[in-house]
């Protein structure tokens, strides 16, 4: 690379500037969460302040954070695994044994995702009441799986499409069966793609706030419900709100950062190459 030193410095400054700008709201939220309520509304805002954990203590004393967090973990993982269980075979068959209807099926699946959930809340609520699925993790897992299924099928489809046909051909010559072909040839090749699809689904499930608020009350309520109890309390609330938000966002943010490489690797392999 034959950039001059000045150019390199400019690029670094620009890139870091953008990164910090995008990250700033999150950083500010975390900072505010360590302020006292009075410091949180000081104008001009304080950058230097005496950190305190009082907001976290207050939030924790009002709601059992771990119970909400556990529900979020269980429901997101459950929804993702269930959706993958349906999506992998479907995408496999579409990619490797396409028929004239494949394209139509795929498009139709995607269009189901564009219906605003609020339009079907009452029917679904009545349905859930009848089968006793209200406020259960199972109910939420099923909803999440269905919600993300179209996107998962579509993403996996594009990953599977990328697998060089020659490899499968060679496998078949050696007499591999469909099942064996899948386990021994395809899975190792597409594992990064499947993993990043799963990661995306996890993130979407974790952040889903409509169904989780409306279909749960206490037993199965995830972190989105936790936030809803802090979003607009009386009195000064900026620090408490920030603390609750930080607690709700932190797990998925850390998880997202840790798995970022995995996510990118999968994406590079498949859809976007």
Which residues from 192-221 bind another protein, rule CB under 8 A?
195, 203, 206-207, 209-210, 213-214, 217-219, 221
Site for another protein in 131-190 (CB under 8 A): 134-135, 137, 146, 149-151, 153-154, 157-158, 161, 165, 169, 172, 175, 177-179
Q: Pick out residues in 216-255 that bind another protein (CB under 8 A).
A: 217-219, 221, 223-225, 227-238, 241-242, 245, 248-249, 252-253, 255
Site string for another protein, 17-36 (x = CB under 8 A): -xxx-xxxxx-xx--x----
Residues from 89 through 128 that contact another protein (CB under 8 A):
89-90, 92-94, 96-99, 102-103, 105-107, 109-128
- For 259, residues 6+ apart whose C-beta sits below 8 A from its C-beta are 199
Q: At what angle do helices 238-258 and 187-207 cross, to 10 degrees?
A: 180
Please identify, using beta-carbon distances, which residue of 45 and 53 lies nearer to another protein. 45
State the first-to-last Cα distance of the chain, in angstroms, to the nearest integer: 23
At 216, phi and psi to the nearest 5? -120, 160
Total number of residues that touch another protein (CB under 8 A): 136
The span from the CA of 85 to the CA of 81, in Å, is 6
- Give DSSP secondary structure letters for 13-42: HHHHHHHHHHHHHHHHHHHHHTS-HHHHT-
Residue 167 Cα to chain centre, angstroms = 32
Q: Report 38-77 residues binding another protein (CB under 8 A).
A: 38, 40-41, 43-45, 61-63, 67, 70, 73-74, 77
């Amino acid at each position: 690379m034959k950039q001059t030193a000045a150019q390199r410095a400019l690029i670094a400054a620009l890139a870091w500037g953008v990164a910090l700008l995008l990250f700033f709201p999150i950083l500010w939220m975390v900072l505010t969460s360590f302020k006292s309520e009075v410091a949180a509304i000081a104008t001009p805002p304080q950058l230097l302040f005496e950190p305190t954990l009082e907001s976290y203590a207050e939030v924790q004393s009002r709601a059992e954070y771990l119970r909400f967090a556990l529900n979020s973990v269980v429901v997101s993982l459950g929804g993702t695994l269930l959706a993958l269980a349906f999506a992998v075979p479907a995408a496999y068959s579409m990619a490797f044994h396409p028929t004239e209807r494949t394209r139509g099926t795929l498009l139709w699946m995607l269009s189901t995702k564009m219906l605003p959930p609020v339009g079907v809340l009452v029917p679904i609520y009545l349905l859930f009441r009848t089968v006793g699925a209200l406020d259960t993790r199972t109910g939420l897992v099923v909803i999440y799986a269905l919600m993300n299924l179209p996107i998962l099928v579509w993403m996996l489809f594009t990953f599977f499409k990328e697998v060089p046909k020659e490899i499968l051909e060679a496998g078949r010559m050696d007499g591999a069966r469909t099942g064996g072909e899948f386990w021994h040839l395809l899975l190792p090749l597409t594992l990064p793609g499947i993993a990043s699809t799963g990661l995306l689904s996890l993130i979407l499930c974790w952040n889903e706030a409509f169904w989780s608020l409306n279909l749960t009350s206490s037993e199965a309520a995830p972190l989105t419900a936790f936030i809803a109890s802090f979003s607009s309390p009386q009195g000064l609330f900026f620090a408490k709100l920030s603390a609750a938000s930080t607690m709700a966002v932190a797990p998925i943010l850390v998880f997202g950062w840790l798995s970022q490489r995995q996510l990118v690797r999968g994406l590079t392999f498949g859809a976007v190459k």
